[in-house]
Structure formats: structure tokens, C-alpha cells
Amino acid sequence: MSRIVMKFGGTSVADLARIRYSARHIKREVDAGHQIAVVVSAMAGTTNQLIEWCNEASSLHDAREYDAVVSTGEQVSAGLLAIILQDMGISARSFSGWQVPIKTSNVHGAARIEGIESSLVDARLNEHQVCVVTGFQGVSENNRITTLGRGGSDTSAVALAAAVKADRCDIYTDVDGVYTTDPRIAPKARRLSRISFEEMLEMASLGAKVLQTRSVELAMAKGVRLVVRSSFADPDAPQIASDGSNFGVPGTLVCDEDEILEKQIVSGVTLVKAEAKITLRSVKDRPGVAAAVFGALADEQIIVDMIVQNVSDDGRQTDITFTVPDGEFDKAMAAITLDEERFEYDSIAGAKGSAKISVIGVGMRSHAGVAASMFKALSEEGINIQLITTSEIKTSVLIDERYAELAVRALHTYYGLDRDEE
Amino acid sequence: MSRIVMKFGGTSVADLARIRYSARHIKREVDAGHQIAVVVSAMAGTTNQLIEWCNEASSLHDAREYDAVVSTGEQVSAGLLAIILQDMGISARSFSGWQVPIKTSNVHGAARIEGIESSLVDARLNEHQVCVVTGFQGVSENNRITTLGRGGSDTSAVALAAAVKADRCDIYTDVDGVYTTDPRIAPKARRLSRISFEEMLEMASLGAKVLQTRSVELAMAKGVRLVVRSSFADPDAPQIASDGSNFGVPGTLVCDEDEILEKQIVSGVTLVKAEAKITLRSVKDRPGVAAAVFGALADEQIIVDMIVQNVSDDGRQTDITFTVPDGEFDKAMAAITLDEERFEYDSIAGAKGSAKISVIGVGMRSHAGVAASMFKALSEEGINIQLITTSEIKTSVLIDERYAELAVRALHTYYGLDRDEE
């Protein structure tokens, strides 16, 4: 017997038919004798409607009232799921965030979970009652409903799994796992049976969009094993992973690096398109200049992605290049050119239309030459590299957007990630 | 300065434009220096959608989960109203039933309010913050959300008014008061400036449909003065009643009889159509027979309206007549004829297509001959009376449905209720 938290996102509870289908996944686990807590999102579309109403009511709405309104979506889906489970003969009840309670900070609209008093849920789980908990929300110390911000349901699920000491947390979504790259770009993309938390973090923040970054960070910190799997899969199919891995389900296990025996040097290739690059030339090389530049951008709420600054050859001036989304390019240029004196550069140049390609893998730590081989693979395709940044388990390059898909496919093949032809 | 509870029903918060319009009524009272608590229903249509989902999820759904789902409607409208009030520069916040808390029995779907801990709301009112409270719901001692059943928002408003010792409770609806009769039937129907609780109770249960019966009972018991008024009226119109009455608003004040100086003998005429009558002839006149008959009907969930039994002339047998809605006629006949022996009657007769006309007025208590004059007025129109029942402040007759509207208009004129022609 295991204790499992199962999380179902908006598309998995989009309507009653989908909720019923998701309930069959729950029934399978209950029938196997497991103790089950479920975390649900709102029915797809509901949250957007509620947000729209709040915005229509006032463009500057009180975040506390926004939370009261928007949190109702999960209350509805949790109640309906509990009813459907009961209809299948499964003991179940719903819990709103405040009923658990899931205690959060009082930063409404973007609250952080501070603690979960799990004794009530714990007792119900021990009685083998399915506890259906509303995701995305909690309650502040002032007894007001809070929401965690977009994608917060994944975080709710991980936090609940940590609180009730679940053996794993299954994230049911509309894809059946984490892929080596986007299958729409590289048809030979393969589902990973395992991926480390660190790699998943790089994947999530680089555009894989399967799991919310915060939830992966929390899972890593609390040691909660995550499984990304599809709620659209046949709930009654035999639950044996094709790779024979021990968690026994088709999907991707996100876990500690130590659980991954054969580490790939590269686990995945990611792509972010529509990046604009801006270069400041001959910037005075002295403390405070970079802070001034990026402070000005932060003041405009512009999120900067890559930043590269080289060591200056004469110790007096240097070049700084950074990237922003294409849509923010004009705003970023304006922020930097408005008050040129302050930033002390000679000239500024920039252009839209680049793409960032990254290769990710914990194996890089122990394998030299990954970056070099990446550049080689790209040069073989005649692709010029504009910018390079690296982290411990990731190497990213900026290239002309026109070659983005070609680069992803080339690297995917080069690092041996292609699916075997059957 | 007064303390006022303002209740807005589903049509008064049907969409953001309607909520905004209702908010202007609140602003008027706030600007006048009053302390305001607001009770809201769900946006019209929302509750039906939520109920439909529950029914679709399972025909035999858990009432606790039903309550969790259905109660979200008011949470949304309360939050949106609070946002709109703030947008108008009015200090406001929403309260869910559990946040107040409004404590109820745990009869889910039809809970009764057992007490309101008003200290939190009270403190906010003293700070002149508008407290927007979700109607129709509360929380059980098990910390689960309960609903009060259909129309429960009126009851929430009255209970809150009693708890915070409000000077009055304004029920905003889609009509501008209580009328002497249905204006669609008698175009000369007049809005009553005042009506007693007792009369309102008879009006409400006889089809006036303006106020929920339970809320009037509670208001009478707690001495809460109610004002029925229209949220569709111009919020900025001068708030002086045309009759100069002291509550200062156009609408109908529902209050204690003592507050009504000039008591009308008859305050209103009501009509219920589609009544079926069933007569049991030569029933054995002995204890337990009536109980057996109406017990059998109750077992079938048939709600019986009028019941008439005459004193038997020989002390051995009597006739019993009762009415049920036309739609229940066949079921009622079946229940009574299934086991004839048990009910010990000689013959049974029944027919659909009657109408019940009632005249209501506290003045009847002190005026003899109201019933007699009613029969006279009807006979002058050639209308035959099938059945008569009376209570202290009401006389009802059953007549052929074809003459229903004629009878209402005749009685309305006869008792001097017609509006003056201007």
C-alpha cells in the first residue's frame, strides 16, 4: 500500500465527462489499496471567466476580493469530483483550502504556502477516504481566502504530498510525460522515463511548460517524487511502465539525481523563440553600471533572460549583451536610451528575431566538452552562434530564429536522444 | 444615522452592470451616513447551473458536496460587489458564511441558521465599512459549508439584521413593493406602503412570491422591520415616500401591526390557480380517519392546500374535501383509491381546474362580516363558491378557474383597493 497525491489540472476536469474519466484513474489507485489525496484545478476556462469579471468590475481590484471570487472555481470542481467518486462507490469528500487548512502568507493573488495542518486529511486517508482538496488556494492568518497565483495547483499538490508524507505525487495533465524536446519540432522526441529535479527545473523554466517551476523547487526541497502522466490515458490499462521502472506507471518520474542510474549526458533540448538581443558597446567597466542598466529595465517590469558580459581587454570598457522577449524590445530600448548619460555606453545595437536553444543534463557535470560538442553540431549545420551562456547542467546559445527547429533536431540527434524507429 | 441591512436578489446582481447599479443604491445609503451590511444572492442563473452539474454528476449526490458546489455562486457575487464598491471609493469587504460565521444546523441543502457570531461584522460596521455577506449559506459545527435551501438569502438577511441590531432590512428585488393583488390581473392594483408581518405571511404563502415565508416568520419573531423595494429604481431619486411614511423610501414596509395606524379591513387579494379538489363522501366519523387519509398523501410527498371537513349530521359519517395542485391530482387520487378499505369512505369524487381566491387583512379581526361581504361580491358576479376556509386574518374560497381573474378584480374593487385614477 502506498499513499499517493494525485493532481488533476484544468483540462483533466474541463467538464463532467472529463471529471468522470479522471475519477476512473482515482478508482484504479483506490482499488489497488492505496490511500489517495486528490488536488484539483478549476474546470478549464472557469478561472479565466472569474478573472475577467474581476477585471471588468475594477481594473484596480482588491486582491483579497479577487481571491474570494477566483478561488470558487476549484471549490466547484472538488465538490463535483467528490460526488462522482461517491457515485462510483468510493468514499470521498472535498476540502477547501481553508478547511484543510492550507495556511499561506497574506500576499493575495500570489500567496506562499507556509504550512499545512494535515491531521484532518491524515485521519481521513487512514480511513481510506479519498480527500479531494482544492488546488491553488489556502487561507491567511486573517481567515481570508488566498490564491497562489497561476499554476499554483501543482504547488498545492506537492505541498500536500510533503505534509501527508505521500510516497509520490502524480501530476495528471494533457501530456503523458516530459519529453527530450518538443515533439512538434522534433518528431523523434522521446518521453523520458526519469528526470532529475534539477533538469526538470531547467526544462520548466525554459519552456517545457509541463510543471510549474515553483512546484519542482518545492518537490526538490521536500524530496517529493513527482510523476508527470496523462489523464487522457486509458485508466484501465495495465499499469506497467514500458521501461520496467519501479514506480509502475507510464509517465515521467521527476526524482532525486541519485535515483537515476544511467545518467544521460544530455536529457533534453529546449527552445525559446522570439528573443530580442540588445548590446551596449564600450560600457564603462566599473561597479554599478550593470546595476543601473538592469535596474532601469526592472523598473519597467521587463524580464531579462540571458545576460552576457565579457572581461574587458583594457580594464576600462566592456560590452554587455542581454535578451528580452521580442514584445518587450521597444520598451527595453526606450528605457536604455532615455537617459544615455547615466549608463555611460558609446553605442547601442539590438534586433528581434533570435531563438535560444539549450541542452540540459546533469551528466554535463562529469563530462567535459558538452558545450564544445554543441557548437560543433551547430556549425556542421552552418548555424552561427550569437551568444553563449552556461550553467552547471545547461548550455544555452542564441541563434537566428530561422534555424531554430533545424538546430533542435540536429542537437537532438547529435546527443542520441532520438526515439528508436520501430 | 441608521444601521441597515440591504439584500439584493439574483436579478439585482445578474451581471456586472446590474451589480454596479445595485452598488449605487448602497452608495446612496453610505453617503447618507448609515452603517451598511449587504446580503447577496448568486448572479441569476448561476445557482441553476451549479445544481444542474451536481445532478448530472450523480442523481443521488451527497448534500454536503452539493452545498460546497452551490454555495460558490454567492461567494462570486459578494466578491465582485465588494470590488465594485471599492471602485466607487467605498470601504467594503466580502464575508462568506463561514467567515462571519453564520452557524447553521448540519441539514445540508436545507440548513437552519442557529446563530450568527456578529462581533466581526459589528466591528467593521462601526468603522463604516460595508460588509458584503453571502446569502443562502452558513457553516455547520463540522466546519462544512451548508446552504439554507431556495430563497434562503432573504432569511440570511433577516437573521443578520437581527444579529447586528439593524434598524431595518431592505429587500431589493425586481418589484417595487407588495401589491394589493397581482397587477397583471387587476391593473388597478396598488402598492401597499405598509403591511403587517401576519398579512405578509399570508400573502407570501399564497403566491405573492415577493418574500420567502421563512424570512417573514423570522422577521416577525425578531421584530426586524423589512422594506420590499426595487433595485431597478433610480438609485439617485429623492428618497421620500409618496405617502410620507417615516421609513423614507418608496417600497412596502413590512412591520408590526402596531406600526400601521389606519388598518385596512382587507389589504390584499391573492389568487392560486390550477387547484384540484377531491371529496371523500360518507367517511366514517371517528378518530384517525383524517390522519390516515392525509398520512397517505404525505407519504407520496403531496402537499395538500385547503382541507374542509364538516360536522357530521348524525355523528357517524362525514364528507372531507381537500385541494392539491392540478399536477398532483392523479397521484393523489391513486394514493387514496389504492387501499379504499383503509380509509372507510363510500365514494370519491374529484376534478381539476379550480382557483383559490383569498382576501387578507388584519382588520378582519375587528370587523365582522368580511366573509359574508366576500360571498356577496362574488355572487353579484354570478360566481359560485365551491369551498370556504377561513383563518383569523384571511378568508379563502375555491371557485371555477374560469372566473378567477374576474373574481380578483371584483373583490379588489369591492374592498376599495383600486388605485385612484390620476
How does pLDDT run across A11-23, given as a tens digit for each residue? 999 999 999 999 9
How distant is the Cα of A62 from the closest Cα of chain B, in angstroms? Answer: 6
How does pLDDT run across B103-137, given as a tens digit for each residue? 999 999 999 999 999 999 999 999 999 999 999 99
Of the CA atoms within 13 Å of residue A206, those in its CB half-sphere come to 26
Q: Do A79 and B66 make contact, defined as CB atoms within 8 angstroms?
A: yes
Q: Do the bridges between strand B226-230 and strand B252-255 make them parallel or antiparallel, or are there none, so unpaired? A: antiparallel
Distance of CA B393 to the CA centre of its chain: 17
Q: Mean pLDDT, chain B, as a whole number?
A: 90
Find chain B residues with C-beta within 8 A of A121's C-beta.
none
Res. B240 pLDDT band, cuts 50 70 90: low
Contact B190, B180 (CB under 8 A): yes
Q: Which residue of B has its CA nearest to A100?
A: B143
Q: Mean pLDDT, chain A, as a whole number?
A: 90
Q: Do A83 and B58 make contact, defined as CB atoms within 8 angstroms?
A: yes
Nearest to B307 by CA among B356, B239, B360, B245: B356
How does pLDDT run across B302-343, given as a tens digit for each residue? 888 899 887 777 777 888 899 999 999 999 999 988 877 777
For B28-79, what is the HEC assignment?
HHHHCCCEEEEEECCCCCHHHHHHHHHHHHCCCCCHHHHHHHHCHHHHHHHH
How does pLDDT run across B156-165, given as a tens digit for each residue? 999 999 999 9
Q: Which residues pair with A102 in a beta bridge?
A: A116
Distance CA A133, CA A169 (A): 14
Res. B176 pLDDT band, cuts 50 70 90: confident
> Could you give the ipTM of this predicted complex?
0.81
Burial of A327 (0-12, 13-18, 19+ CB in 10 A): exposed
Q: Which of A58, A78, A99 sits opposite B84 (nearest CB)?
A: A58
Give residue for cell 522534433.
A186
Q: Tell me, what's the pLDDT at B116?
A: 97
Q: Tell me, what's the pLDDT at B239?
A: 67
How distant is the Cα of B58 from the closest Cα of chain A, in angstroms? Answer: 6
Instruction: Tell me the C-alpha to C-alpha distance, in Å, between residue B239 and each of A46, B28, B224, B234.
Output: 40, 9, 21, 10
Give residues with Cβ within 8 angstroms of A409, minimum separation 6. A185, A186, A188
Contact A379, A397 (CB under 8 A): no
Q: Tell me, what's the pLDDT at A115?
A: 95
SS3 category, A339: coil
Q: Do B72 and A68 make contact, defined as CB atoms within 8 angstroms?
A: no
- Residue A246, pLDDT > 90, answer no
Sheet holding B347-360, edge to edge: B307-309, B317-325, B268-284, B347-360, B394-400, B387-391
Q: Tell me, what's the pLDDT at B300?
A: 86
Helix residue spans in A32-179 (DSSP H): 46-57, 63-70, 72-87, 119-126, 152-163
Q: Is the dihedral of CA B340, B344, B348, B352 positive or negative?
A: negative
How does pLDDT run across B21-67, given as a tens digit for each residue? 999 999 999 999 999 999 999 999 999 999 999 999 999 899 999 99
Instruction: Tell me the C-alpha to C-alpha distance, in Å, between residue B75 and each of B47, B141, B397.
Output: 11, 20, 44
Q: Do B57 and A80 make contact, defined as CB atoms within 8 angstroms?
A: yes
Distance CA B275, CA A280 (A): 87
- Residue A291, pLDDT > 70, answer yes
Find chain B residues with C-beta within 8 A of A145's C-beta.
96
Q: Tell me, what's the pLDDT at A338?
A: 82
Q: Tell me, what's the pLDDT at B341?
A: 75
Q: Do A78 and B68 make contact, defined as CB atoms within 8 angstroms?
A: yes
Q: In the structure grid, which three cell numbers stand for residue A301, read together?
A: 517590469
- Residue A183, pLDDT > 90, answer no
Contact B108, B147 (CB under 8 A): yes
Find chain A residues with C-beta within 8 A of B75's C-beta.
68-69, 71-72, 75
Of the CA atoms within 13 Å of residue A269, those in its CB half-sphere come to 30
Find chain B residues with C-beta within 8 A of A99's C-beta.
143-144
Q: Which residues pair with B38 in a beta bridge?
A: B6, B132
Q: Which helix (H) or strand (E) holds B378?
A: helix B370-380
Of the residues B69, B87, B142, the best mutation for testing chain A's interface (the one with the most A CB atoms within 10 Å of its CB) is B69
Q: Tell me, what's the pLDDT at A248?
A: 61
Most confident of A239-248, A319-328, B67-76: B67-76
Contact A3, A165 (CB under 8 A): yes
Nearest to A266 by CA among A373, A355, A176: A373
Burial of B303 (0-12, 13-18, 19+ CB in 10 A): exposed
Q: Tell me, what's the pLDDT at B342?
A: 77
Q: Which helix (H) or strand (E) holds A270?
A: strand A268-284
Q: Tell me, what's the pLDDT at A176?
A: 87
How distant is the Cα of A5 from the closest Cα of chain B, in angstroms? Answer: 20
Nearest to B168 by CA among B262, B115, B101, B245: B245
Q: In the structure grid, which three cell numbers stand for residue A126, read together?
A: 487512514
Find chain A residues with C-beta within 8 A of B143's C-beta.
99
Q: Which residues pair with A389 in a beta bridge?
A: A396
Distance CA B105, CA B115 (A): 9
Mean pLDDT, residues A212-223: 92
Q: Which of A66, A75, A84 sits opposite B57 (nearest CB)?
A: A84
Distance CA A397, CA A371 (A): 10
Q: Do A79 and B56 make contact, defined as CB atoms within 8 angstroms?
A: no
Q: Which residue type does A208 have? A: A
Share of chain B above pLDDT 90, in %: 65
Q: Which residue type does A171 have? A: I
Q: Tell me, what's the pLDDT at B284?
A: 82
Q: Tell me, what's the pLDDT at B422?
A: 52
Q: Which of B68, B79, B82 sits opposite A75 (nearest CB)?
A: B68
- Residue B364, pLDDT > 60, answer yes
Q: Which helix (H) or strand (E) holds B347?
A: strand B347-360
Find chain B residues with C-beta within 8 A of A60's C-beta.
87
Least confident of A158-172, A229-243, A346-360, B109-123: A229-243
How does pLDDT run across B245-282, given as a tens digit for each residue? 555 667 899 999 888 877 778 999 999 999 999 999 88
Q: Do B61 and A75 make contact, defined as CB atoms within 8 angstroms?
A: no
Find chain A residues with C-beta within 8 A of B94's C-beta.
65, 68
Of the residues A76, A106, A130, A145, the best mutation for testing chain B's interface (the one with the most B CB atoms within 10 Å of its CB) is A76
Contact A282, A347 (CB under 8 A): yes
Mean pLDDT, residues A374-400: 91
Residue B112: φ, ψ to 5° = -110, 140
Distance CA A416, CA A191 (A): 13
Residues in chain B: 422
How distant is the Cα of B18 from the closest Cα of chain A, in angstroms? Answer: 11
Res. B289 pLDDT band, cuts 50 70 90: confident
Find chain B residues with C-beta within 8 A of A98's C-beta.
98
Q: In the structure grid, which three cell numbers stand for residue B230, read together?
A: 426595487
Q: Which residue type does B45 have? A: G
Q: Which residue of A has its CA nearest to B100?
A: A143
The residues on A that touch B, with CB distances below 8 Å, are 16, 19, 50, 53-54, 56-58, 60-62, 64-66, 68-69, 71-72, 75-76, 78-80, 82-84, 86-87, 93-94, 96, 98-99, 143-145
Distance CA A291, CA A280 (A): 14
Q: Do B57 and A143 make contact, defined as CB atoms within 8 angstroms?
A: no
Find chain A residues with C-beta within 8 A of B145's C-beta.
96
How distant is the Cα of B76 from the closest Cα of chain A, in angstroms? Answer: 5
Helix residue spans in A286-356 (DSSP H): 289-299, 329-337, 340-343
Contact B135, B81 (CB under 8 A): no
Mean pLDDT, residues B181-203: 90
Contact A21, A231 (CB under 8 A): yes
Q: Do B84 and A144 make contact, defined as CB atoms within 8 angstroms?
A: no
Task: Pick A57 or B183 by higher pLDDT.
Answer: A57
Question: Do you find a cis peptide bond into A250, omega within 30 degrees of 0?
Answer: no
Q: Which helix (H) or strand (E) holds B233?
A: none
Contact B265, B372 (CB under 8 A): no
Share of chain A above pLDDT 90, in %: 65
Q: Which residue of A has its CA nearest to B76?
A: A69
Res. B86 pLDDT band, cuts 50 70 90: very high
Q: In the structure grid, which three cell numbers stand for residue B160, read together?
A: 443578520
Res. B207 pLDDT band, cuts 50 70 90: low
- Residue A264, pLDDT > 80, answer no
Q: Do A143 and B56 make contact, defined as CB atoms within 8 angstroms?
A: no
In our burial notation (b when 16+ CB lie closer than 10 A, e otherwise), range B84-111 reads: bbbbeebebbbbbbbbbbbbbebebbeb
Domains of chain B: 3-259 (3.40.1160.10), 268-414 (3.30.2130.10)
Mean pLDDT, residues A51-58: 95
How does pLDDT run across A98-131, given as a tens digit for each residue? 999 999 999 999 999 999 999 999 999 999 999 9
Distance CA B43, CA B349 (A): 46
Least confident of A128-137, A285-294, A406-415, B157-166: A285-294
Angle between helices B46-57 and A72-87 (to 10 degrees): 30
